[in-house]
C-alpha cells in the first residue's frame, strides 16, 4: 500500500499485539496507530499509547478507564478512552481505520473481527474464533464487503505464501485452490511429544506451558501441548482455503522451522521456512504484497543440521482427533470444541482439573453438540448462544471432575 495505513490493534498488549507494534515502529512513515485495546494489562496499554501516539484506546469497563488515567504520564494529549465491548466493534469499523489486527484471544475477539470484515477493512487475522466459531458468517462478510483477509497465524500465513499466485489475493475463496492436492500443517509437538503416556495424568500447568520453541501466553501454550491449537488451525485452514478436512494433514516438526507446506497435484511441495518469530507473518500481512523488514534475524540453515517430520500420535494428542471430529460434525460442534477447551484449560491452569481431563471435557461437549441441529449459524447472536451453552456444559463437567 502506498498510502499510510492507520491501524486498530485489538489486543495490543498480548504477544501478537506487541510484536505488531514492534514491526510498525520500524516503518514510521508507512504505519500509524489509530487505536489500541487491552483487557487487563492497562498499565502496558498506557505505555503503548504514549510510545505510539495512539488516538484512541479501548478498555473493558469504567474501573479500567480510571486505571488508565492513573498510569498516563505522557506529555502528549490524552487519547480518547472508549469503554466496553461495543466500542471494540465500533472502532474497528470506523472510516479512519484502514487495517485491523484482530489479536484478542477467545470468543471476546469475535465481534471486533467480524465488524472489521463487514466494514471492508484489511483484516490481519490472529483470532482463531472468527473462523472456528463463525467461519461461514465471517467468510461471507469478507466476500460481501470486499475486505482483504490476511492470515497471521504462522501456519496459515505460510500456506498463503505457498499458494498459486492467483490464489494469493487476500480474498475469501469458495473452492479449493486449483492444482493443490493437500495442505500440510506443521506442529512442534509441544513439551510432551516424547513423554511416557502414563505421566500425562500428573503433568502440571508449568510443565505444559514450557514450550520448547515458542514463547506464548499460558492458555495458548497449553493448547500447543494438547495440540488442540493445531486442531483449531485445521478448522481455520478449511475456511481460509476452502479445503475439505480429508485434504488437510498435520505433521509433527520439532524444529519449528518449516511453518507449513502446500502439496500440488504434480508432486511438488512448497514450504515456507523461517525463524519461530511472529514478526515475520505480521510484517507479511502488514505490507502485503510487498516485503518489509520485520526485525527477524537470519535463518542459518547450515546450523540446523536436520529437519525432522513424523505423524502425530492421536493417543497422545486426543484433542487433535476431536478437532477433526468437530469439523466433520459441523459449525455447531466447532463452537463447542473451542468453548469447552477454553473452560477446561482455565480449569487446568487453576488446578481444578487434570491435564488429561481437558480432552474428556471437550469430548463430553461434542457429544452434546452432536444432538443439536447441524445448520450453520446465521448471526453472531446464534454463535454466541451456542458458545455460552457449551461453556455451561463444560463448567458443569469441570465441577463433576473436581
- pLDDT tens digits along 312-351: 999 999 999 999 999 999 999 999 999 999 999 999 999 9
Residue 398: predicted pLDDT: 84
Residue 65: predicted pLDDT: 97
Q: Which of 315, 195, 208, 300 is nearest to 255 (CA)?
A: 300
Q: Is pLDDT of 374 > 70?
A: no
Domain ranges of the chain: 5-151, 199-204+220-226+314-402
- Give CATH for domain 5-151: 3.40.50.720
Distances (CA, A) of 313 to 116, 226, 328, 372: 38, 11, 20, 30
Q: Which of 39, 53, 49 is nearest to 71 (CA)?
A: 49
Work out the pLDDT band at 215, boundaries 50, 70, 90.
low
The stretch 103-127 carries a mean pLDDT of 93
The stretch 352-358 carries a mean pLDDT of 94
Residue 64: predicted pLDDT: 97
Contact 177, 164 (CB under 8 A): yes
Residue 41: predicted pLDDT: 96
Residue 183: predicted pLDDT: 98
Percentage of residues in the chain with pLDDT exceeding 70?
A: 96
What region, left, alpha or beta, does residue 227 occupy, with left being phi > 0 and alpha being psi -120 to 50 degrees?
left
Q: Is pLDDT of 245 > 50?
A: yes
Work out the pLDDT band at 239, boundaries 50, 70, 90.
very high
Q: Which residues pair with 35 in a beta bridge?
A: 8, 56
Work out the pLDDT band at 1, boundaries 50, 70, 90.
very low
pLDDT digits (tens, 9 = 90+) for 147-162: 999 999 999 999 999 9
Q: Is the bond preceding residue 305 a cis peptide, omega within 30 degrees?
A: no
Q: Tell me the C-alpha distance between 361 and 370, whole Å.
A: 14
Residue 166: predicted pLDDT: 58
pTM (two decimals): 0.92
Q: Which of 66, 309, 315 is nearest to 195 (CA)?
A: 315
The stretch 45-62 carries a mean pLDDT of 97
Among the ranges given (38-47, 101-110, 132-141), the one the predictor scored with the smallest mean pLDDT: 101-110
Work out the pLDDT band at 371, boundaries 50, 70, 90.
confident
Q: Is pLDDT of 400 > 90?
A: no
Among the ranges given (11-15, 124-128, 369-373), the one the predictor scored with the smallest mean pLDDT: 369-373
Q: Is pLDDT of 170 > 80?
A: no
Assign domain 199-204+220-226+314-402 one CATH number from 3.65.10.10, 3.40.50.10420, 1.10.1740.10, 3.30.930.10. Answer: 1.10.1740.10
| Per-chain mean pLDDT for the chain | 92
Q: Which of 257, 158, 159, 152 is nearest to 213 (CA)?
A: 257
Q: Which residues pair with 258 in a beta bridge?
A: 273
Q: Tell me the C-alpha distance between 352 and 345, whole Å.
A: 10
The stretch 123-146 carries a mean pLDDT of 93
Residue 219: predicted pLDDT: 85
Residue 105: predicted pLDDT: 83
Work out the pLDDT band at 169, boundaries 50, 70, 90.
low
Amino acid at each position: 500500500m502506498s498510502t499510510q495505513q492507520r491501524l486498530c490493534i485489538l489486543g495490543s498488549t498480548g504477544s501478537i499485539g506487541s510484536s505488531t507494534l514492534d514491526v510498525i515502529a520500524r516503518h514510521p512513515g508507512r504505519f500509524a496507530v489509530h487505536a489500541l485495546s487491552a483487557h487487563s494489562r492497562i498499565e502496558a496499554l498506557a505505555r503503548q499509547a504514549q510510545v505510539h501516539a495512539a488516538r484512541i484506546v479501548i478498555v473493558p469497563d469504567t474501573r479500567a478507564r480510571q486505571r488508565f488515567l492513573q498510569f498516563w504520564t505522557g506529555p502528549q494529549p490524552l487519547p480518547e478512552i472508549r469503554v466496553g465491548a461495543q466500542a471494540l466493534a465500533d472502532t474497528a469499523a470506523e472510516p479512519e481505520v484502514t487495517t485491523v489486527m484482530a489479536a484478542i484471544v477467545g470468543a471476546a475477539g469475535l465481534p471486533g473481527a467480524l465488524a472489521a470484515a463487514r466494514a471492508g477493512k484489511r483484516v490481519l487475522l490472529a483470532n482463531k474464533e472468527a473462523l472456528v466459531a463463525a467461519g461461514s458468517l465471517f467468510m461471507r462478510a469478507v466476500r460481501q464487503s470486499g475486505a482483504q483477509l490476511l492470515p497471521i497465524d504462522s501456519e496459515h500465513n505460510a500456506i498463503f505464501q505457498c499458494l498459486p499466485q492467483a490464489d494469493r489475493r487476500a480474498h475469501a475463496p469458495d473452492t479449493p485452490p486449483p492444482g493443490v492436492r493437500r495442505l500440510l500443517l506443521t506442529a512442534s509437538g509441544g513439551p510432551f511429544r516424547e513423554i511416557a503416556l502414563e505421566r500425562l495424568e500428573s503433568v502440571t500447568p508449568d510443565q505444559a506451558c514450557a514450550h520448547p520453541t515458542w514463547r506464548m501466553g499460558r492458555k495458548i501454550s497449553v493448547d500447543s501441548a494438547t495440540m488442540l491449537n493445531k486442531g483449531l488451525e485445521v478448522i481455520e485452514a478449511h475456511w481460509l482455503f476452502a479445503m475439505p478436512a480429508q485434504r488437510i494433514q498435520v505433521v509433527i516438526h520439532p524444529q519449528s522451522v518449516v511453518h507449513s507446506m502446500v502439496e500440488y497435484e504434480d508432486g511438488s511441495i512448497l514450504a515456507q521456512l523461517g525463524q519461530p518469530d511472529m514478526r515475520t507473518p505480521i510484517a507479511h500481512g502488514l505490507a502485503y504484497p510487498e516485503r518489509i523488514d520485520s526485525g527477524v534475524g537470519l535463518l542459518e540453515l547450515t546450523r540446523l543440521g536436520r529437519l525432522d517430520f513424523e505423524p502425530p500420535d492421536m493417543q497422545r494428542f486426543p484433542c487433535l482427533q476431536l478437532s477433526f471430529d468437530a469439523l466433520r460434525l459441523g459449525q455447531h460442534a466447532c463452537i463447542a470444541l473451542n468453548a469447552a477447551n477454553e473452560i477446561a484449560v482455565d480449569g487446568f491452569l487453576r488446578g481444578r482439573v487434570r491435564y488429561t481431563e481437558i480432552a474428556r471435557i471437550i469430548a463430553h461437549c461434542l457429544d452434546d453438540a452432536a444432538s443439536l441441529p447441524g445448520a450453520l449459524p446465521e448471526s453472531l447472536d446464534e454463535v454466541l448462544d451456542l458458545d455460552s451453552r457449551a461453556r455451561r456444559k463444560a463448567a458443569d463437567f469441570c465441577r463433576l471432575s473436581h
